[in-house]
Amino acid sequence: AQSVAQPEDQVNVAEGNPLTVKCTYSVSGNPYLFWYVQYPNRGLQFLLKYITGDNLVKGSYGFEAEFNKSQTSFHLKKPSALVSDSALYFCAVRDPNRAGKLIFGQGTTLQVKP
């Protein structure tokens, strides 16, 4: 069965420092991977996705993520965090062999302090 794990409930970083939000996955085949962000009292917004090709994908708001097949990971990164990046981040996986069902991790709260 496909699954996603986000091992950290919360990540704290200082503004200007690099940030990493971790995600690992489990699917039977080659995964499609997504990151979403949820600002307080808002819906989920798509950030970026990995489908195939270059393992480093770039997305909205300066975020990027690195796909690592051997470690089954898809960590979200940003070189320099902003206070406005503080939000709830979700990793999601879709197994192309399972008719498109999209499964989310439990979410990681990012807190960026000035």
Q: List the one residue from 54, 70, 99, 114 that touches other proteins (CB under 8 A).
A: 99
Q: How far is the CB of 19 from other proteins (least distance, A)?
A: 20
Using rule CB under 8 A, residue 100 touches other proteins: yes
Stretch that binds other proteins, among 19-27, 60-68, 70-78, 86-94 (CB under 8 A): 86-94
Which tokens in the block code for residue 83?
A: 């206070």
Please state whether 107 falls in left (phi above 0), alpha (psi between -120 and 50) or beta: left
- The DSSP 8-state label assigned to residue 54 in this structure reads -
27 closest CA partner among 59, 89, 63, 73: 73
Using rule CB under 8 A, residue 107 touches other proteins: yes
Using rule CB under 8 A, residue 94 touches other proteins: yes
